[in-house]
Amino acid sequence: MSTASHDAQRDVSAAAASRRPLLHWPRTLFARLALILCVGLALAQTLSVWLTLTERDASTANMMMDYVEREVASSVALLDNLPPAQRIAWLPKLARRSYTFVLGPGISGVAPDAQLSRRYESAIEKGIGKHFALTVNAIPGEREHLQVHLRLTDGSPLTIDVRPQPALPLSRWLPLVLILQLVVLAVCCWLAVRIATRPLDALARAADALGPDLKAEHLDEGGPAEVARAARAFNAMQARIAGYMTERMQILASISHDLQTPITRMRLRVDTMDDDVQGAKLRQDLQEMEQLVKEGVAYARTLHGTAEAPVRVDLDALLDSLVCDYADAGSDVRYETRAPLAMVTRAQALKRIVGNFVDNALKFAGAAEIALSKGPGDAQVTIAVLDRGPGIPEASLEAVFEPFHRLETSRNRGTGGTGLGLAIARQLASAMGARLSLHNRPGGGLEARLVLNDERMGATANQ
């Protein structure tokens, strides 16, 4: 690769890195609301403290300047009226924390340029500037230091040595109080957002628990008006869906029942036909019609859920008996990867799912293998049905679970089936709280993987 190509790739990487956000916005509504409220209230509290301290410093400085103006004027007037011999005794009495008086010319220098020094200069000038000629200069040093020079009425030099004092220092407990306030704000924000988003969390859990059986618990319709309205709407929607599904199942069941009679009559008429060739074809068509009706009703029932109660099942024994049934029928089904595992699940639904995949493996590969192993979780078990058939294209691994989807596009039910077997298996697995998926095997073949969850553990978790 040329140097230009390297440079181009580096430029593209740098541009992509520059577009990548440095901070990631939280994904959950709880985190977003808590972050917005905490940051907003913390900034507002910090701004309030800053404004309070700024106003306090400004007010304190103004009061200090007024005090300096009055005190300096009084002290200079007192010294001006005292006899020269008594002035030195009064100097300690007139001294203050920020300035003292010196009987002498003081130290010369340049004009002060610091802001606080200029405020002291302005205050002293307001107090005595109308009566005495003043000269002000700064004294070099680490801290602000200035001197105000003047002459009293008798011509004696007087120097006001000023060391400007900053505003009142912060109390040691003030930062701790500010931190405590921020902590209280954060806790209150967390509690408020938690209370506000808890109904949404309950709504999401109820929606997740709304399985094919449509028997999820109703939401509590109490609380704020908006929350109660959403809960009532969800409960009403759940009831409507359950009613629609029940009505559809009843319709399909009625159609199936009503079709049984004409199919039986047609079969009897076919049996009395003299044309054996046409009779055999009609019998095959009638069998396919009957099978399609039965599987359609079975799929509708799985959509509505299963009434089978979960029981504790010895999975090893169940799979072994299933394999023995196939072996007795002369089918090549093996069960070599086994494990002594038991869990609470729905035995009949499980046998139907595994049997469906074994039948498919026998149809397309001529042989099947069942494997039982411990799943990735503590209460999970994996059952796999393996074959060495043609497999399924990667793009169709999920599509085959859709109703009436067939990879074999012919109209022959014997080779293509009805297209409902995998859909029924997926619905049964969903009703059991299991995960069903298909995977192509290395070297050819297909693996149907069923990951079971102990339904007793699932019920405990839901509670």
Pair (291, 365) in one structural domain: no
Residue with tokens 């693996």: 447
Angle (CA) 348 353 356, round 5°: 120
Within a domain: 217: no
Please check whether residue 19 lies inside any domain of the structure. Answer: no
Among the ranges given (37-46, 77-86, 218-227, 295-304), the one the predictor scored with the smallest mean pLDDT: 295-304
Do 115 and 57 lie in one domain? The reply is yes
172, 198: one domain: yes
Whether 104 has a pLDDT exceeding 60, the answer reads yes
**Assigned domain for 14 exists:** no
Of 235, 268, 302, the domain-final residue: 302
Domain that holds residue 131: 26-209
Q: Is there a domain that residue 435 lies in?
A: yes
Specify whether 147 is located in the same domain as 182: yes
Say if residue 296 is in the same domain as residue 369: no
Q: What is the CATH number of the domain that holds 377?
A: 3.30.565.10
**338 with 316: CB under 8 angstroms?**
yes
Domain final residue pick, 270, 302, 334: 302
- Both 284 and 352 in a single domain? no
How many domains are there within the chain? 3
Looking at the structure, do residues 293 and 335 belong to the same domain, yes or no?
no
Assigned domain for 6 exists: no
Higher pLDDT, 28 or 447: 447
Task: Cite the DSSP H helix spans in 100-172.
Answer: 115-128
Q: Determine the pLDDT at residue 458.
A: 47
pLDDT band at 20, cuts 50/70/90?
Answer: low
Element at 230 (helix H, strand E): helix 225-271
Q: For residue 416, is pLDDT > 80?
A: no
pLDDT tens digits, 305-329: 556 778 888 998 999 999 999 988 8
pTM of the model: 0.48
Asked whether 138 and 122 are in contact (CB, 8 A), the reply is: no
On whether residue 218 sits in a domain, the answer given is: no
Tell me the pLDDT tens digit for each residue of 393-410: 888 888 888 876 666 644
Q: Is residue 10 a part of any domain in this protein?
A: no
Co-location of 267 and 379 in the same domain: no
Tokens of 266: 């047609």
Nearest to 295 by CA among 357, 243, 356: 356
Domain boundary among 279, 302, 325: 302
Average pLDDT, integer, range 85-89: 90
Query: What residues are paired with 337 via a beta bridge?
Result: 371
CATH of the domain at 272: 1.10.287
Q: Are residues 428 and 379 in the same domain?
A: yes
What is the reported pLDDT for 457? Answer: 47
pLDDT at 370: 92
Neighbouring C-alpha atoms within 13 Å toward the C-beta of 335: 22
Predicted confidence at residue 239, as pLDDT, reads: 82
Mean pLDDT, range 292-310, rounded to an integer:
65
Structure-token match 């072994």, residue found: 320
Tell me the pLDDT band of 413, cut-offs 50, 70 and 90: very low
Residues 264 and 333 in one domain: no
pLDDT at residue 244 in the model: 77
Position 333 scores a pLDDT of 92
Q: How many CB atoms within 10 Å of residue 426? A: 22
- Residues 6 or more apart whose CB falls under 8 angstroms from that of 47 comprise none
- Give domain status of residue 448, yes or no: yes
Residue range 346-372: mean pLDDT, rounded: 89
Ranking 61-65, 228-232, 254-258, 345-349 by mean pLDDT, the lowest is 254-258
**Confidence label for 1 from pLDDT (cuts 50, 70 and 90):** very low
* Mean pLDDT for the stretch of residues 288-310: 67
User: Residue 32: which of 193, 157, 153, 141 has the closest Cα?
Assistant: 193
The residues, ordered by sequence, that sit 6+ positions from 306 with a Cβ below 8 Å of its Cβ are: 212, 213, 346, 349, 428, 431
Q: Are 273 and 374 within one domain?
A: no
Both structure tokens of 177: 């109080």
Do residues 383 and 444 share a domain?
yes
